[in-house]
Amino acid sequence: MSAEDRLKELGLTLPDVPTPVATYVSFKQVGDMVYLSGQGPKRADGTYPTGKVGTDVTVEQAYEHARQTGLGLLAAMKKAVGSLDKVEVVKLLGMVNAAPDFSDHPKVINGCSDLFVAVLGDRGRHARSAVGMGSLPNRMTVEIEVIVKVHP
């Protein structure tokens, strides 16, 4: 089954790839590797869920934010290479806007990781870091960047 078919089966639609707001690009391909710029859980109206995970936002809410971010990253992958069936996720860096004593960063970033495996199968499995940050742009709850390998 293709990745597009899996998206349909899951009832998911890829969002538009956001236009960078500074001096960078959404993705950069070097050889057979594509480096995706960090994204957050941008809503259709252009806003982001905000707050500190562990005080203002629950783990379950932040998991959904990471999942939404994953949809945006899948959209960037597709734009970069033309088809999600050509990508293999190699490395993911998940950053959580976390309260100082928060320790469930992996549970939050699982929202993105679980989505990648659901859509891409084994090519969605990846190495990963899930870390806490004192703040993130726009006070968003999560930001995730990804490195993917392109297959012919």
Q: One digit per residue, pLDDT tens: the chain, 152 residues?
A: 999 999 999 999 999 998 888 999 999 999 999 999 999 999 989 899 999 999 999 999 999 999 999 999 999 999 999 999 999 999 999 999 999 999 999 999 999 999 999 999 999 999 999 999 999 999 999 999 999 999 99
The structural domain count of the chain equals 1
User: What pLDDT was estimated at residue 19?
Assistant: 85
Q: Quote the domain boundaries for residue 88.
A: 3-13+26-150
Residue 21 lies in a domain: no
Which CATH number do you get for residue 126?
A: 3.30.1330.40
H or E element that contains 110: helix 105-120
Could you tell me if residue 138 is inside a domain? yes
Question: Is residue 137 assigned to a domain?
Answer: yes
In a domain, 20, yes or no: no
Give pTM, 2 decimals: 0.96
